[in-house]
Amino acid sequence: MASALRLMPSTATRLRFRPRLSFSTAASLFSPPSKAVLYDQHGPPDQVLRVEDVPPVELGERGVCVKMLAAPINPSDINRVQGVYPVRPPLPAAVAGYEGVAQVHAVGPAVTRPLSPGDWVIPSPPSFGTWQTYIVKPEDVWHKVRDDVPVEYAATVTVNPLTALRMLQDFVKLKPGDAVVQNGSTSIVGQCVIQLAKVQGIRTINIIRDRPGSEEAKEKLKQLGADEVFTESQLDVKNVKSLLGALPEPALGFNCVGGNAASLILKLLRQGGTMVTYGGMSKKPVTVSTSSFIFKDLSLRGFWLQKWMNSDKSEECRTMIDYLLGLVHEGKLKYEMELTPFSEFSMALDKALGKHGSQPKQVLRF
């Protein structure tokens, strides 16, 4: 068996050609050995996840081997391991992780896409199993992305920024000067909503929890472009819309919390407005008054990015990813993250699980 092809150029000397292998050698082209985060059963992530060596994988004719550069630990990744997310990889020996950025390591001899060793790629739509050092998947899984942005942004561009962009575009036709309202505003989706709305000339009204450091959180959101930021208790008044000042009543609201935080969005929405729910961090239900339906004619919708991406929208998804990374490159889209070496996976997982208090999003650096 021939040894694995090891093309690992630096960024400065990145190769710009694709090796052409004869058909007779295709069967012997394998990935390097890899380390992966595996689990055999669902349960608490800190109990069921393990880091383990995995053997080389054959590329085949149209396979592409990539070396992972970075991958985030998203709440949905945790939920998949726990077994509570609607779509999960098959067990046993499931590899955790769903999005990330990689560098092309080698390509099969019949690959037709313009992919060369050294190129940055992401799985688009996202694909199970990104928490491992090397991955082999068919060529159509991979989307080439620009390599002049910080690696953590390329690793996280799909799930959160794309959710924010789709919600701003898919439910209400907004025009410059319109306003949206959201809870969970300090989340990465919330931060992206603020910045993407600003690019489009849309005003944002943002709701955050009452907690120590709320004034500092308000200032950070305003630096991103937020027009107004309120704590939940500030909105606990009879004439809540008087707090908006010159801002228009919002036509669209985004709810990722539920409970009272969702009710506050409904109070602020204008006649005929729409609230989109994309999460439920408080684990409390959305409660709607009868008058909200009868007298305000409000609409309640839901958004799940994975369903949208699975509905034959792969090319549209890739176009939007390129747009979002362009904004990152221009300095118009940013959010707080922490890169942690893959060798310190247990520490990154503990931070993502909240064992060390409030922490930035954890991104594994391979």
Residues assigned a catalytic role? 85
Q: Which residues contact 319 (CB under 8 A, 6 or more apart)?
A: none
Which pair of tokens denotes residue 282?
Answer: 């408080």
Give the DSSP per-residue string, 237-256.
Answer: SSSGGGGGTTSPPPSEEEES
Q: 101-107 and 63-72: which strand pairing? A: antiparallel
CB 88 within 8 A of CB 28: no
For tokens 């349960």, the residue is: 43
User: In which element (H, E) is residue 303 found?
Assistant: none
Which pair of tokens denotes residue 305?
Answer: 């990015």
Which pair of tokens denotes residue 193?
Answer: 């909503």
Q: Which residues contact 176 (CB under 8 A, 6 or more apart)?
A: 200, 201, 202
> Whose CA is closest to 168, among 199, 185, 188, 193?
193
CA–CA distance, 217 with 137 (Å, rounded to integer): 41
On the 0-12 / 13-18 / 19+ scale of CB atoms within 10 A, 338 is middle
CA–CA distance, 56 with 43 (Å, rounded to integer): 28
CA–CA distance, 30 with 4 (Å, rounded to integer): 5
CB 173 within 8 A of CB 200: no
Sheet holding 203-208, edge to edge: 228-231, 203-208, 179-182, 252-255, 274-277, 299-302
One-letter amino acid identity for 337? M
CA–CA distance, 304 with 186 (Å, rounded to integer): 20
User: Coil, strand, or helix at residue 320?
Assistant: helix
